[in-house]
A and B are shown apart, each in its own frame.
Chain A
Amino acid sequence: SQTIHQWPATLVQPVGSPLSLECTVEGTSNPNLYWYRQAAGRGLQLLFYSVGIGQISSEVPQNLSASRPQDRQFILSSKKLLLSDSGFYLCAWCSGALRAFFGQGTRLTVV
């Protein structure tokens, strides 16, 4: 069966520090991968999605970037975090069935 792993679960980082969040999927090949951000009490905002290795689509201009170095690995990064980058970051995957499955999320607090 397919599983998605996201880590770390929580992270507290100072303003101006770099960020690297990792997401990996098991049990499937060539999945579509997504990064979403959720601010407290709000909906999910699509940040990036990827349909293959090295293929990244950015949905909103921001202080973040994404990379997909391997088929089942999706990384969210920042060179210098801002206070406004705080939020709940969710990784998701889907395959041909179009049904998207989410990881358990990373709660990022920038201080």
Chain B
Amino acid sequence: GESVGLHLPTLSVQEGDNSIINCAYSNSASDYFIWYKQESGKGPQFIIDIRSNMGKRQGQRVTVLLNKTVKHLSLQIAATQPGDSAVYFCAENISGTYKYIFGTGTRLKVLA
């Protein structure tokens, strides 16, 4: 469903530090998850995905962790850069459907 609140949670990190963005998903039947990055005025851009039979997946500078027990997903960005500033969304796909449900989103601000 739709997120609540007009102000997205914001995470501020120093350039070069690691960032961790968290997401709690809602449906136990979800078995596929995606992290998206959305820059202002643009559509969401795929970053990394993970299936429910995995606990961790790594990409270039990004790592996604999945904890099915507590229905929690996280995105770790190593050596955060100014270009990483954006809003990050997690999305869950409910098994057996073609529906993607998005989380609230987190705004990442990279401080120089």
Contacts and interface: CB of A to CB of B under 8 A. Distances in A.
Interface of A: 6, 32, 34, 36, 39-46, 49, 51, 59, 90, 92, 94, 98-105, 107
27 contacts: A6-B43, A39-B2, A40-B6, A41-B6, A41-B7, A41-B8, A42-B5, A43-B2, A43-B89, A43-B102, A43-B103, A43-B105, A44-B102, A45-B2, A45-B102, A46-B99, A94-B98, A98-B32, A98-B49, A98-B93, A99-B46, A99-B49, A101-B46, A102-B36, A102-B44, A104-B42, A105-B41
A40 B89 CA distance: 15
Interface in B78-98: 89, 91, 93, 98
B19 interface: no
A90 B101 CA distance: 14
B45 interface: yes
Contacts of A90: 43-44
Contacts of B46: 99-101
A40 B6 CA distance: 7
A100 B102 contact: no
B41 A107 contact: yes
B41 A46 contact: no
Interface bracket on B: 20 to 34
A23 to B, nearest CB: 11
B89 A44 contact: yes
Contact of A49 (B49, B89, B98): B98
Contacts of A101: 46
B32 to A, nearest CB: 5
Contacts of A40: 6
B42 A100 contact: no
B75 interface: no
A102 B6 contact: no
B42 to A, nearest CB: 6
Contact of A105 (B1, B42, B49, B98): B42
Given A42-B2, A45-B1, A100-B91, A32 B43 contact: no
